[in-house]
Structure 1
Amino acid sequence: MVSRPPTFCPDCGTRLEPATVDGRERERCPACGDVVWHNPVPCASVAIVDRSRADARVLCVERGVPPGVGEWTLPGGHIEIGEEPAAAAARELEEETGVSVDPGALEILSASAMAPRDGKHVMTVHYVTDRADADGEPLAGSDASAARFWSPSEFDASGETFRPVHEERFREAAAYFD
């Protein structure tokens, strides 16, 4: 399995050829016969919702590294080998914002697939939890240039932009506890 469209067999190095496998166009090695599966990369994100005001606010990060530098997202990233999705969401939250949460406090908000970028497909499990279940104050970390809570009305008035898919999850999370 590879995260970007394959060209050569990872086992023997032979150039791959298109083949119909299971009713779909795939890449197969003509030398060893192996199919090289091009599957989505699993990711996880978490929305921390602060309900202390009438207008619920959600913790977001501004991307500081490609892809999407300057766009806002929910804190999240790739799931590591052997890592549970909720644990990955909690780890990414702490790396990107300094805010920590017990993975057991996370509830599944939704799951989504992003449009491919440079042939890489991403599937994200999105989690949500209340600010009361999280510790720490937001401070931009690893991939972020900023971290802060936004309400939908504050964000709408800001002129800022979200990465694809994240705005929908942001708005969904802001209304989650209503």
Structure 2
Amino acid sequence: MITVDGDYCPLCGAELDRIRVEGRERRRCPDCDRVVWQNSKPVASVVVRDGEAVLLGKRDVEPNRGLWGIPGGNLEHDEHPAAGAARELREETGVRVDPDDLQLVSVDHTAKERRSVVGIRYVVDRAATTGEPTARDETSAARFDSLDGFRDDGGISPWDRDLLAAVFGD
């Protein structure tokens, strides 16, 4: 799957041209005679609440390196979104949760910075999780704090602000 615009065929390397398919302009390989579909990338994340506190990880990778963000990321091709959200939580913070304990909060679509993402967002109470937060894959720190505490400590990723505001009514 290609998630950003490309100029060359991912199969043969030929320069792509454009044709109209299903009422939209699409990229096409003239050598393979194949449409090169550009699809949104599915991602899943989980907000772990502990009263008025939330678990966030300080991003150690782009985009938004150095900002605090909700644990989450790309789904594997054979992975249920809840299982992917639970995996990302474990990988980024060391905190574990049973995917069956996750409650779906929203599904959204964001297109910016040449990326198109379908986000599947979950929430769970801290009591349903195990383990203590620690920096892991893609994070330099992980902790529970208030939203104001994270705002005062470098800021919150713009990708996550709306979801946190919706969950906490902030």
TM-score in same-fold range (> 0.5):
yes
1:75 is aligned to 2:71: yes
Q: How is 1:17-166 mapped onto 2 (pairs within 5 angstroms)?
A: 17-51=17-51, 56-117=52-113, 119-156=114-151, 158=152, 160-166=154-160
* Structure 1 stretches lacking a partner, 5+ long: none
Whole-angstrom CA distance in 1 between matches of 2:125 and 2:81: 18
String of CA shifts for 1:70-93, please: whole Å, max 9, x gaps: 111100011012011000000000
The 1:153–1:32 alpha-carbon spacing in structure 2 relative to 1, beyond 3 Å, is closer
Tell me which residue corresponds to 1:10: 10
Cα pair 1:74 1:166 within 8 Å, conserved:
yes
TM-score after normalising by structure 1? 0.87
Q: Matched residues, percent identical?
A: 43
What is the aligned-residue RMSD (CA, Å)?
1.8
Secondary structure of 2:30's aligned partner: coil
Alignment deviations for residues 134-175 of structure 1 (CA, whole Å, 9 cap, x no partner): 00111111000111112234334x153222230111222235
Are 1:58 and 1:173, in contact at CA under 8 Å, matched by a contact in 2? no
Q: How many residues align?
A: 170
- Cα distance in 2 for partners of 1:121, 1:49 equals 27
1:174 is matched with 168
Q: Which amino acid in structure 1 is aligned with residue 97 of structure 2? A: V
Gaps of 5+ in 2: none
Check the 8 A contact 2:18/2:26 in 1, yes or no.
yes
Partner deviation per Cα, 1:91-140 (whole Å, 9 max, x = no partner): 000011010000000011112233333x2322211100111100011111
User: Which AA in structure 1 matches 2:48?
Assistant: I
* DSSP 3-state at the match of 2:132: coil
**What TM-score do you get using the length of structure 2 for normalisation?**
0.91
